Amino acid sequence: MHGIDFIQDLATIMAIAAVVTLLFNRLHQPVVLGYIAAGVLIGPHTPPFALIHDADTIAALSELGVVFLLFTLGLEFSLRKLARVGATALIAALAEIVLMVWLGYQIGRAFGWLTMDSLFLGAMLAISSTTIIVKALDELGMKRERFAQLVFGVLIVEDILAIGMIALLSGVAAGGALDAGTVLVTLGELSLFMTVSLLVGLLTVPRLLAHVARRGSDEMLLITVLGLCFGFCLLVVKLDYSIALGAFMIGAIMAEARDLALIERLVAPLRDMFSAIFFVSIGLMIDPSVLIEYAWPIAVITVAVVLGKLVSCGLGAWVAGQDGRTAMRVGMGLSQIGEFSFIIAALGVSLKVTSGFLYPIAVAVSAITTLLTPYLIRWADPLSAWLAGRLPAPVARVGGLYTDWLHGLRPRGERAELAALVNSILFKVMLNLAVVVALFLGAAAWAPELGAWLLPWISSGEAHKALIWGGTLLVALPFLIATWRKLKALSLLLAELGCRGRQAGSYSARLRGLLAEAIPVIALAMILLLIAALSGSLLPGAGVLAVTLAVVAVIAALGWRWFVRVHARLQIELTETLAHQGGEPAAHGH
């Protein structure tokens, strides 16, 4: 009868959710709140009796809601849009997250809550709701205004940082402590994993999806998309990262596919169904009596969210060079919490490190701030005009001078072109080194399994190390050679700019030559030290190592042009993938 109970539960959820969300739609309120209200109505805490018999199965299905929510957020990720508003978005998002995590933690401690409750509360308050903001701006007809593009950029950065926060919170919950070394290592590993995943994914996944899409079968394309999504999520879980990270990353990779609009259309019904179950399951865990009991903390946290995000995001946007009116609109547009807060709250519940009252408090604060969002966006202009009229003249003058000073710092003309060229070279060097680091870390991690596989053919442990380390170095050669070439070009550019004739006199040519040769040599020495540090457990004895290096050097010399062509081809394919203008992602339906 287990199957009948499950079907009955699913029927109950969908029927009640349909009725309640229809009512919320008629009242022009976000349907997310309708789903949560439906969960409260049929939950075990609402008399006269519970309508759900198999809560565990519903909770398991709600995990798919998390996957599809994060996957859809990834589909809305755009490297091009992020590049256009990158500096402002990064500064505003960092200011918001730092202030709100600190503010939430302090509020929790002030109420006498446990350390983990306070830490998770800070994380829940740090991230604004993409779904609610997109819907509100769409209904207000403001999606294409400049401040809206800045808001979307902040949301993209928030989503990335939120994934990092989930990974950090999981580590804190497992270890019970958080120190600076652990944070740096975790963030470094996470950044490396995301960078290499994006590179490999962008080189393979969009082409695979384009090949499948050419078959003309929507069913085949949907199954391929779901297979890639769940397969990548499984890989991420095997690497001890959150499933949310996997869903977001594979969505971000598929966001560069040429058939993005079709993929979104095919996935939308599944996203809507499972995310509805996720939000209903949130309502199932809410005890209305808890909301009454914690009415005062809910009110305090709501005010903290609105004012804290207004100050942090608005001030961050202004510090990045936006005018006061735009900064105010950015701050007030981001003054709410939503789906990521629920995911973080669910993480605390699943890890059994947070108290039962924290979840309903997060939902209540989200509901209140969601209702306030359209009004806050409308009030941004009147409030900024009111503040501008009451600012002391010296303060307003200093603010204007600061904004003008920032705009004056931006390079123009030839300087702007040179800065863009230098940034491009350094960015490519960092990407190549990220791949090299990932290769050697992966080889070190898989060395025991590779050694066991080689054992039937080669019994010597030193030979195993030589083959594994030498093979890794050969695979890394295209990226190391490309790094050398990029650094060589950068050194020539810097030598030409730094040693002009009137500055160095008759020695300018010699100094240029010295700089052009010294910079790549120093950089190469640092790269070799990095490789040595990464491969300490893989290095064979001195004699075997010398032979391995000699073999690799001969192969590199003979195949230099081939390695250059391989990397050039990879770079061209990556550029082509990012250069296409895919369809605009559809807004969430929640």
Determine the topology of domain 2-379 in CATH: Na+/H+ antiporter like fold (1.20.1530)
Residues of the chain with pLDDT under 70: 1-3, 47-50, 53-55, 77-86, 131, 134-135, 138-139, 174-184, 186, 388, 395-396, 398-399, 401-416, 455, 459, 461, 495-513, 515-516, 580-590
CA 35 to centroid of chain Cα atoms: 26
Number of continuous H segments (helices) and E segments (strands) in the chain? 24, 0
CA–CA separation, 151 and 148 (whole Å): 5
For tokens 């999520």, what's the residue? 233
Q: What is the value of pTM for the model shown? A: 0.72
User: What residue type is assigned to position 212 of the chain?
Assistant: V
> Do residues 154 and 313 touch, judged by C-beta distance below 8 A?
yes
pLDDT of 300 reads 92
Of 524, 532, 502, 498, give the one whose Cα is nearest residue 512: 498
pLDDT of 50 reads 65
Residue ranges per structural domain of the chain: 2-379, 414-558
User: What residue type is assigned to position 214 of the chain?
Assistant: R
pLDDT of 588 reads 40
Q: Which residues contact 63 (CB under 8 A, 6 or more apart)?
A: 243, 278
CA–CA separation, 459 and 34 (whole Å): 65
> Do residues 264 and 22 touch, judged by C-beta distance below 8 A?
no
Count of CB atoms situated within 10 Å of the CB of 79:
14
Whether cis (ω within 30° of 0) applies to the bond prior to 48 is: yes
> Do residues 330 and 317 touch, judged by C-beta distance below 8 A?
yes
> Do residues 472 and 443 touch, judged by C-beta distance below 8 A?
yes
CA–CA separation, 250 and 517 (whole Å): 41
Phi-psi region of 544 (alpha: psi -120 to 50; beta: other; left: phi over 0): alpha
Helices (H), 54-145: 55-75, 79-84, 86-110, 115-126, 130-139
Q: What is the DSSP letter of 586?
A: P
For tokens 């830490």, what's the residue? 119
Count of CB atoms situated within 10 Å of the CB of 375:
11
